[in-house]
Amino acid sequence: MSDAKIQVCHLSKQFDGKIILDDMNLKVMPGESHIVIGLSGTGKSVLLKCILGLLQADSGEVLVDGEEWCCLSESERLKRMRNIGMVFQGSALFDSLPVWENVAFVLRRQGMKKKEARDRAQEVLEKVGLPHACDKMPAELSGGMAKRVGLARAICHRPSIIFYDEPLSGLDPVMSDVITRLMRELHEEMQVTSLTIAHNMKLVRDFGDQVSMLYQGRIHLQTPASELDSQDDPIFRQFIEGRANGPLDTNNLTIKGSL
């Protein structure tokens, strides 16, 4: 049996005949912060949704703790989901709920009493540097605060795996640095396994232990984050250096026709 925390085996997914994931494989080891990078539109979010069971893959399987998720009954799968924290690309907070109810959402769904759930929400809000946010409404939060609330929500039920989909989108460089540090601190303190979708290279360097590049439906290259700069693969180099010219197929990004 594999010792990976998450193992993606021969996963394939297409939409309307367009191949997005093509027999791809990926292993995330326990306690690791693993980052998947790749051009926009290459299928990073699709990969995450397939892992979470939000999208059905055409073939292949995803093992979490050595067990296949697709074969679980719905109640088993929901039980498993409680072991998972998710930080979405936007903050995806419920506008009509105060901050603490957003943070404690999973706990309340699990039946935790209001007082206990609020106390736990307050505890994690302090951890992310928002000790006075409990009763605020999402509309009162700045972008950086909303991200912190999103992080607090992801860790509130003490998951063993956290997924992040472009966690810094919409943040300025300074706030990005603050959130990246917080993610690293939480990762170490909680000893979780993290799988992060990112294209911000500073996040990749500061938060990643392992980095995998998704390209043409597969992991084109995997490397320890500490060895990013010693990779000489031209496609990988073009991506991490942020250049428009090179062998990386950027055709789907060019503006076609007249404006």
Nearer to ligand ADP, 20 or 35 (CB): 20
Give the Å distances, CA to CA, from 184 to 14, 54, 113, 209, 225: 34, 27, 31, 10, 14
Return the residue of 41, 66, 173, 246 that touches ligand ADP, per CB under 6 A. 41
Strand order in the sheet with 18-28: 18-28, 6-15, 59-64, 67-68
Say if residues 153 and 105 touch (Cβ distance below 8 Å): yes
DSSP state for residue 116 in the 8-state scheme: H
Return the residue of 7, 45, 194, 210 that touches ligand ADP, per CB under 6 A. 45
| Smallest distance, Mg ion to C-beta of residue 66, A | 28
CB count, 10 Å around CB of 6? 22
Give the Å distances, CA to CA, from 129 to 147, 183, 186, 238, 245: 11, 12, 12, 37, 41
Nearer to ligand ADP, 54 or 78 (CB): 54
- Residue 42 in the binding site for ligand ADP (CB under 6 A): yes
| Smallest distance, ligand ADP to C-beta of residue 114, A | 36
| Smallest distance, ligand ADP to C-beta of residue 169, A | 11
- Residue 40 in the binding site for ligand ADP (CB under 6 A): yes
Say if residues 151 and 88 touch (Cβ distance below 8 Å): no
- Residue 102 in the binding site for Mg ion (CB under 5 A): no
- Residue 45 in the binding site for Mg ion (CB under 5 A): yes
The listed partner (Mg ion, ligand ADP, none) that binds 176, CB under 5 to 8 Å by sort, is none
**Contact residues for ligand ADP, defined by CB under 6 A:** 15, 20, 38, 40-46
